[in-house]
């Protein structure tokens, strides 16, 4: 394989925020252009849902502190690591030794990349869920791993995520030594049941596999839902990394902040990799961690409630359209919408929706090649604009039904 | 090779800023403790040499701009890319097409990692200079390349860096397809002559090799010195990436800002890798690029002159100590100091100097295993404190002479 062939599979053209750089073929536009506030559902809108109060102030204080905040150890400034260990431990229920068991990273993407880079050798078999976060597959390919997909049937039973546990066990039996998954799941927004989490942990332990659990959205869990932190359970595998960050619910993505915690030997390898990858989570930016898990009284609750209301109104739109369905989000800001057969391809329809209705969504194929009738939306948007945009998208879609 | 064996070679214990996390054996301390302002020569002191005026203000404006600055395309915000292309082109003399030929990265470390990751396949032979920046070797190892060292005799001729061009040609003949080097050299601070740069470019072109040129310190060139930008020469190889950033001379390291520019196909692969590595150079931080190459009138000139004066005073200290030598820095803030045989190892002496004289330096072995009689200092420090600290170090050293 050449370097060109290797990178040919790592497309970014359909990834969130990349539309600006794309050169497209002419489109089969039907009907009049649908006017309305453009909505980019490919990522959250930090103008509609502002960053945590006080975040910029902490950054400025960090700059004022000078050298001690500019140049931290690669894994992060000790005082901030200690604060994070305490807060994340209180949140998840897991014990976290500081500094041996955690590291600050450039966003949770950085944490994922470091964890994968610290665990995969060329040729290693790595299991990932389908559908799951699109970078998971790409990281396996970049590090020359062999991807082993494990299906998740999210439409079957609302009380669980629907991961195929028999397939996961078969994967471990076939030599998979690493399993990565997101909970709440990206793109579906479903939450793994207590039984599913315990089963995954037990299987990993039984087969000596490493687990990487992406808990990015675990603070944004809706009314009536129960979230289980794998890291806090009694039976966990020897090698376990959990990942979390304030980029989503807290709208701090512009600062690129993430945390990975778990097995000390893996965290140590991640620090070595971070040293040659980007040195550290940006020094001054680390100061912003101070507002995380320390939000003003009631702020997080209100933010989650706001998103639950948007979800409910979008689900009402989905329910009103024939042949369209989505599982109501249990955690996080994503909806994974299934649409009927159209007379244009999914990718073409998505380009049409952007050009003709001002609505940007992420194609299902980013989350697994088989999801040709799905798109993902991030509904952390202006409430009314999001509802209107989704309606426009379906109005337009009706012109392309087969 | 296991993942543990792979990472065993990627040590960070002696890397700048990591001393805090190290557990050391007892030391053979001699004489009284030498009192004075502690100086950490392992990296520059942004308290002594402040970040570019206006940098924090630009950051705050970026946050105020909101979503458009928080979520940029992976390669960076288009307006900032255009500004950078123009300014770097004016500085180097190279033509840079925007956006195809440049990318914003989390520091120049991020740029180096992306460039190496976008060019190395497992088993590829990669040439690097000895001595050169310590991460170069580690990146080759991380990406499963085969390192081919090329010697640089910096002590021979003050009119050139002293790279062994015959060895470089031999390396290309033996199948090396990628050559990475820093200019000004880190750790020596020497500048490659015009003839050396032209010869490197011609050899790479002749053998179809890719070049990565780390020009991090190229704005900090001292009086009477001539710097040659390889990227601006007539005869350049088809595949060429140059790297530069404001972390050093401009003291903006706490923001983690870097730029890579050059061959579009490589930049495209770097963007794909950045998408799974850390998504982007932190969104808000990108706004700080606005003050780069736009410093207040005379500010850069004064900053370079300040550093030249520190260099001169440190060289006077070096010249006053028997058996100690260093080549005067031509560009950048490093001095690579050769010391005589001691009755303790280099690493032990360095730990002693830190504990007993409050002076932190980086061991020569970080830049090549053979440099057991050298240490590197970054003299971007408080002028008087730096001079006093270097004197303390040599006073202490005298107690350990063989």
Query: Of the candidates A7, A17, A280, which has its C-beta nearest B71's C-beta?
Result: A17
pLDDT attached to residue A25: 74
Tokens 């539309």 correspond to A19
- The span from the CA of A195 to the CA of A364, in Å, is 27
- Report CA A89 to chain centroid distance, whole Å: 21
Quote the ipTM score. Answer: 0.96
User: A10 vs B276: CB contact, 8 Å cut-off?
Assistant: yes
A-B C-beta contacts closer than 8 Å? 201
Q: How far is A399 from chain B (nearest CA, A)?
A: 31
Which chain A residues are Cβ-neighbours of B121 within 8 angstroms? Answer: 1-3, 6
Query: Of the candidates B7, B45, B120, which has its C-beta nearest A272's C-beta?
Result: B7
CB atoms within 10 A of CB B181: 24
By CA distance, what is B258's nearest residue in A? A278
Q: Does residue B107 sit at the A interface (CB-CB below 8 Å)?
A: yes
pLDDT attached to residue B153: 98
Contact A325, A318 (CB under 8 A): yes
Angle at A354 between CA A45 and CA A138, to 5 degrees: 70
pLDDT attached to residue A8: 87
Which chain B residues are Cβ-neighbours of A126 within 8 angstroms? Answer: none
pLDDT attached to residue B16: 66
Three-class SS string for chain A? CCHHHHHHCCCCCCCCCCHHHCCCCCCCCCCCCCCCCCEECCCCCCCCCCCCCCHHHHHHHHHHHCHHHHCCCCCCCHHHHHHHHHHHHHHHCCCCCCCCCEEEECHHHHHHHHHHHCCCCCCCEEEEEECCCHHHHHHHHHCCCEEEEEEECCCCCCCCCCECHHHHHHHHHCCCCEEEEECCCCCCCCCCCHHHHHHHHHHHHHCCCEEEEECCCCCCECCCCCCCCHHHCCCCCCCEEEEECCCCCCCCHHHCCEEEEECHHHHHHHHHHHHHHCCCCCHHHHHHHHHCCCCCCCHHHHHHHHHHHHHHHHHHHHHCCCCCEECCCCECCEEEEECCCECCCHHHHHHHHHHHHCEECEEHHHHCCCCCCEEEEECCCCHHHHHHHHHHHHHHHHHHEC
User: A109 vs B276: CB contact, 8 Å cut-off?
Assistant: yes
Backbone dihedral angles phi then psi of residue A249, each to the nearest 5 degrees: -50, -40
Q: Does residue B7 sit at the A interface (CB-CB below 8 Å)?
A: yes
Helix axes A194-206, A165-173, angle to 10 degrees: 10
CB atoms within 10 A of CB A341: 10
Question: Which of B239, B274, B276 should one mutate to test binding to chain A, selecting the residue with the greatest count of A CBs within 10 A?
Answer: B276
3-state SS assignment for residue B396: helix
Alpha helix (H) ranges present in B254-345? 264-277, 283-286, 299-319
3-state SS assignment for residue B95: coil
- Count, residues in chain B: 402
Q: Does residue A106 sit at the B interface (CB-CB below 8 Å)?
A: yes
- The radius of gyration of chain B's CA atoms, rounded to the nearest angstrom, is 21
pLDDT attached to residue B73: 95
pLDDT attached to residue A24: 65
Contact A94, A232 (CB under 8 A): yes
Residue-wise pLDDT tens digits, B72-84: 999 999 999 999 9
Query: Of the candidates B20, B63, B107, which has its C-beta nearest A278's C-beta?
Result: B107
Which residue, among B392, B357, B385, B371, has the nearest Cα to B27 in the 3D structure? B357
Contact A81, A74 (CB under 8 A): no
pLDDT attached to residue A9: 78
3-state SS assignment for residue A104: strand
Contact A210, A177 (CB under 8 A): yes
- The span from the CA of A348 to the CA of A360, in Å, is 12
Q: How far is A67 from chain B (nearest CA, A)?
A: 5
Q: How far is B340 from chain A (nearest CA, A)?
A: 31
The residue ranges of chain A whose pLDDT is under 70 are: 12-24
Q: Does residue B189 sit at the A interface (CB-CB below 8 Å)?
A: no
Contact A247, A215 (CB under 8 A): no
pLDDT attached to residue A98: 98
Alpha helix (H) ranges present in B187-242? 194-207
- Report CA B157 to chain centroid distance, whole Å: 22
Which chain B residues are Cβ-neighbours of A113 within 8 angstroms? Answer: 276-278
3-state SS assignment for residue A174: coil
pLDDT attached to residue B160: 97
Residues 6 or more apart whose CB falls under 8 angstroms from that of A330 comprise: A184, A189, A190, A191, A221, A222, A225
Query: Of the candidates B56, B106, B139, which has its C-beta nearest A282's C-beta?
Result: B106
Question: Which of B272, B273, B289, B380 should one mutate to test binding to chain A, selecting the residue with the greatest count of A CBs within 10 A?
Answer: B272
CB atoms within 10 A of CB A15: 22
Q: Does residue B275 sit at the A interface (CB-CB below 8 Å)?
A: yes
User: B278 vs A113: CB contact, 8 Å cut-off?
Assistant: yes
Alpha helix (H) ranges present in B71-218? 78-92, 107-117, 134-142, 165-173, 194-207
Contact A176, A126 (CB under 8 A): yes
Which residue, among B88, B76, B100, has the nearest Cα to B269 in the 3D structure? B100
By CA distance, what is B110's nearest residue in A? A278
b/e per residue, A283-316, with b = 16+ CB within 10 A? bbbbbbbbbbbebeeeebeebbeebbebbeebbe
Question: Which of B128, B275, B283, B362 should one mutate to test binding to chain A, selecting the residue with the greatest count of A CBs within 10 A?
Answer: B275
Helix (H) or strand (E) run with residue B69 in it: helix B67-70
3-state SS assignment for residue B55: helix
Q: Does residue B110 sit at the A interface (CB-CB below 8 Å)?
A: yes
- Count, residues in chain A: 402
Q: How far is A338 from chain B (nearest CA, A)?
A: 26
Contact A317, A391 (CB under 8 A): yes
Query: Of the candidates A7, A265, A269, which has its C-beta nearest B269's C-beta?
Result: A7
Contact A174, A167 (CB under 8 A): no
pLDDT attached to residue B369: 94
Residues 6 or more apart whose CB falls under 8 angstroms from that of B308 comprise: B222, B223
Q: Does residue B115 sit at the A interface (CB-CB below 8 Å)?
A: no
Question: Which of B62, B134, B284 should one mutate to test binding to chain A, selecting the residue with the greatest count of A CBs within 10 A?
Answer: B284
- The radius of gyration of chain A's CA atoms, rounded to the nearest angstrom, is 21
How do the pLDDT tens digits run along chain B, 402 residues long?
899 989 987 876 666 666 555 556 789 999 999 999 999 999 999 999 999 999 999 999 999 999 999 999 999 999 999 999 999 999 999 999 999 999 999 999 999 999 999 999 999 999 999 999 999 999 999 999 999 999 999 999 999 999 999 999 999 999 999 999 999 999 999 999 999 999 999 999 999 999 999 999 999 999 999 999 999 999 999 999 999 999 999 999 999 999 999 999 999 999 999 999 999 999 999 999 999 999 999 999 999 999 999 999 999 999 999 999 999 999 999 999 999 999 999 999 999 999 999 999 999 999 999 999 999 999 999 999 999 999 999 999 999 999
pLDDT attached to residue B21: 52
pLDDT attached to residue A139: 97
User: B278 vs A46: CB contact, 8 Å cut-off?
Assistant: no
Which chain B residues are Cβ-neighbours of A276 within 8 angstroms? Answer: 10, 109, 112-113, 135, 138-139, 142
Question: Which of A41, A284, A366, A381 should one mutate to test binding to chain B, selecting the residue with the greatest count of B CBs within 10 A?
Answer: A284
């Amino acid at each position: 394989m050449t370097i060109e062939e290797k990178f040919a599979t790592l497309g970014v053209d359909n990834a969130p925020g990349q539309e600006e750089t794309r050169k497209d073929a002419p489109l089969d536009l039907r009907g009049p252009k649908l006017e309305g506030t453009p909505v980019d559902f490919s990522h959250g809108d930090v103008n509609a849902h502002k960053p945590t109060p006080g975040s910029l102030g902490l950054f400025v204080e960090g700059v004022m502190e000078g050298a001690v905040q500019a140049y931290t150890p690669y894994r992060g400034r000790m005082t901030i690591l200690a604060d994070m260990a305490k807060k994340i431990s209180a949140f998840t229920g897991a014990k976290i030794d500081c500094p041996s068991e955690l590291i600050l990273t450039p966003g949770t993407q950085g944490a994922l990349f470091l964890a994968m880079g610290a665990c995969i050798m060329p040729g290693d078999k790595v299991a990932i869920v389908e559908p799951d976060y699109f970078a998971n597959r790409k990281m396996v390919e970049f590090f020359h791993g062999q991807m082993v997909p494990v299906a998740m049937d999210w439409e079957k039973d609302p009380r669980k995520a629907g991961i195929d546990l028999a397939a996961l066990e078969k994967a471990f039996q076939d030599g998979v030594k690493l399993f990565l998954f997101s909970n709440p799941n990206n793109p579906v927004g479903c939450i793994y049941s207590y039984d599913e989490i315990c089963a995954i942990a037990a299987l990993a332990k039984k087969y000596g596999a490493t687990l990487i659990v992406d808990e990015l959205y675990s603070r944004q869990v809706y009314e009536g839902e129960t979230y289980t932190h794998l890291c806090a359970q009694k039976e966990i595998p020897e090698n376990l990394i959990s990942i979390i960050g304030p980029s989503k619910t807290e709208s701090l993505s512009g600062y690129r902040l993430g945390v990975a915690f778990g097995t000390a030997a893996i965290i140590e390898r991640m620090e070595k990799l971070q040293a040659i990858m980007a040195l550290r989570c940006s020094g001054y930016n680390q100061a912003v961690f101070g507002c995380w898990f320390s939000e003003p009284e009631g702020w997080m609750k209100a933010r989650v409630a706001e998103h639950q209301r948007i979800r409910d109104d979008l689900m009402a739109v989905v329910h009103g359209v024939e042949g369209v369905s989505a599982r109501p989000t249990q955690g996080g800001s994503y909806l994974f919408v299934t649409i009927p057969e159209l007379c244009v391809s999914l990718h073409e329809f998505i380009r049409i929706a952007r050009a003709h209705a001002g609505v940007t969504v992420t194609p299902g194929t980013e989350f697994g090649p088989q999801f040709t009738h799905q798109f993902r939306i991030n509904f952390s948007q202006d409430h009314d604009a999001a509802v209107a945009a989704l309606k426009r998208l379906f109005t337009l879609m009706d012109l392309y039904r087969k």
